[in-house]
Amino acid sequence: MTRENPETSFVKPAIARDPSVYPADEVLSKMTLLKPMRPEIRRLQNRLCAQLKTGR
């Protein structure tokens, strides 16, 4: 399915037809957004990821 809207007029047709780039409306209707993380949770996540990467 090709989305007919202004932003796709500048996109290559093969990309505009790619459902992984422009999912169908039925797929979009099933998607949800994650709530933003609290700053302290984000800091903990960053710290743990850094420790994992550095092996500490």
Domain of 30 in residue numbering reads as: 6-54
Q: Is residue 15 part of a domain?
A: yes
Write out pLDDT tens, residues 3-46: 566 777 888 989 988 999 989 899 999 999 889 999 999 999 99
Of residues 33, 8, 31, the one with CA closest to residue 21 = 8
Question: Cβ(17)–Cβ(2) under 8 Å?
Answer: yes
Question: Cβ(28)–Cβ(21) under 8 Å?
Answer: no
pLDDT value for 8: 76
Q: Is residue 1 part of a domain?
A: no
Of residues 39, 37, 43, the one with CA closest to residue 51 = 43
The answer, as to whether pTM is greater than 0.85, is no
Q: Is residue 47 part of a domain?
A: yes
Q: Is residue 40 part of a domain?
A: yes
Looking at residue 37, the DSSP 8-state letter turns out to be P
Q: Is residue 23 part of a domain?
A: yes
For the purposes of burial, counting CB atoms within 10 Å of the CB of 8, is it exposed (0-12), middle (13-18) or buried (19 or more)? middle
Number of domains the chain is built from: 1
